[in-house]
Amino acid sequence: MIVSMIQMIFEMPDTGSIKDKRRVVKSIKDKLERRFHLSAAEVDLQDSLSFAQIGGALVSNSRSFGEAVLNKAFKMIENEIPVRIQDLKIHSEEF
């Protein structure tokens, strides 16, 4: 069993309130879950107004498949969501 994980820190320059930030974060998590069947959560920076950290995971039987899905998820966020990616990590582990 291979678990592929993604961790992203991004800046949301257009958010003016925590409510705006929550809306953007929820939208990203929903898209990751719906389009790519990832488990996703906001894992840190909850109190920051303009930054968020989201983690996601996918279980599969292939490291290359899992990492390809995560790269597609990253490209979707980069192209469709008005955020600036500050940090990205993709990692797979075999269990």
Number of domains the chain is built from: 1
pLDDT at 52: 93
Residue 40 sits in a domain whose CATH number is 3.30.70.1120
Range of the domain at 11: 2-94
CB-count exposure of residue 41 (10 Å: 0-12, 13-18, 19+): middle
Which tens digit of pLDDT belongs to each residue from 38-63? Answer: 999 999 988 888 899 999 999 999 99
Which tens digit of pLDDT belongs to each residue from 66-87? Answer: 999 999 999 998 898 888 999 9
Q: Are the beta carbons of 9 and 86 closer than 8 angstroms?
A: yes
Predicted TM-score (pTM) of this structure: 0.83
